[in-house]
Amino acid sequence: MSDELIRNLREHLSHDALFRYIEKNDWLNEVFDESFRKAIDEEEYYTTPQTAALMGLEDKDWTIRNLLNKYNLDEYVGMQKIKSRLVLDYIGVIKVKMMLFIMDKTDRKPLSIAEMLGQVASTHVSDGFTRHAQASDNTDLATNDDYSKLYMLAFHKKQLEQALKLTNHEKYYLEQKEVDSAAYYEELISQMEVTKDSYIREIAALDEQIRTIKYQQLLSEQVDNLAKEQASKFSFKKIFKQEPSQDNRSEQINTGLSKQLEQLGEKIGLVKGKISDLEQKMEKTSEKATQDKEMQAVQKEKLEEEILEINQNITNVEAKINNEKKNISGDSNMTLFLADDINVE
């Protein structure tokens, strides 16, 4: 599926703000490259990890989850629940890809994407018409009178404050996750260190047994040499007596001791193998801890950027509200009511 996909998207997304923006900038082939066109299936439903994999974000599906958890963007992509799983149809996947592409291409934040889409709550103003709060820095709310304009600015401010609260909560939970994750990996590596120490002590005990057996071998050799010296002093007739040979006894002892040494060596080899496996596991765990820490740092940095952006937008809107208040004549109490007594659903 190549040109057919583009034709279908023009049919389904002709009124989509992101699609029009991408098409206007001649980015269609860049967003929907050949590999993506071949991979996407119009008949399939995709989980968040599968969606991430389609976009080359394996093991980073949290990026998509975080995006969709903001500003009702999950509604925009049409997230569905099928047999207890949250999934997207292919149009939903396309919308996710467009959002991620524009964010990367133009350095926009999720709030800016929501502004482009108009994914904001609506309210009914006094003239009976539904107005929508726009979220851009240069907010220009066209209304029929100054009071409606002030109302919409105040509504927009409330909405930004709600977004700021949610983002601050998200940052707080991320910081708690950082602490918990660090403690988890520290405890896990500590347990591995304890296990490794027990293996080292086991090898030391086996080495001690080996030294003991080697000492026994040395004694046996000395006894054997002494016996040979004594045997050389016996009379010629002694040779013909039917007595067990000292050489045979020594050989049997040495054979038994050598077998014990061999068994102990094998045990040490097995324990050293366990230590090697454990060290590899410790190294991978340490790498995973570092990766998680770096990933959390990136998430935190993005949240902090969003918080700064939202605060700046609030400051801009407050300035516009103050300007509108100065321009409005009449009952100041009504003005305050319009500016402050607003609930964001």
pTM for this predicted structure: 0.47
> Which range is least confidently modeled, 107-121, 186-200, 206-220, 270-284?
107-121
Residue 219 is inside which H or E element, if any? helix 146-231
* CB-based contact 153:317 (threshold 8 Å): yes
Neighbours of 276 (CB within 10 A): 11
Distance separating alpha carbons of residues 316 and 134, to the nearest angstrom: 13
* CB-based contact 45:125 (threshold 8 Å): no
> Does the pLDDT at position 258 exceed 70?
yes
Looking at the chain, the whole-number percentage of residues with pLDDT higher than 70 is 79
Please report the sign of the dihedral spanned by the C-alpha atoms of residue 19, residue 21, residue 24, residue 27: negative
Neighbours of 330 (CB within 10 A): 9
Q: What is the pLDDT of residue 129?
A: 30
pLDDT band at 234 (very low <50, low <70, confident <90, very high): low
Mean pLDDT to the nearest integer, 27-34: 91
Mean pLDDT to the nearest integer, 220-240: 64
Residue 185 is inside which H or E element, if any? helix 146-231
54 contacts: CB under 8 Å, gap ≥ 6: 36, 39, 40, 46, 93, 97
DSSP code string of 79-113: -EEETTEEEB-HHHHHHHHHHHHHHHHHT--HHHH
> Does the pLDDT at position 51 exceed 90?
yes
Q: What is the pLDDT of residues 320-343, one digit of tens each?
A: 888 877 776 444 444 444 444 444
Q: What is the pLDDT of residues 69-115, one digit of tens each?
A: 888 898 899 988 877 788 999 999 999 999 999 999 999 888 889 88
* CB-based contact 163:111 (threshold 8 Å): yes
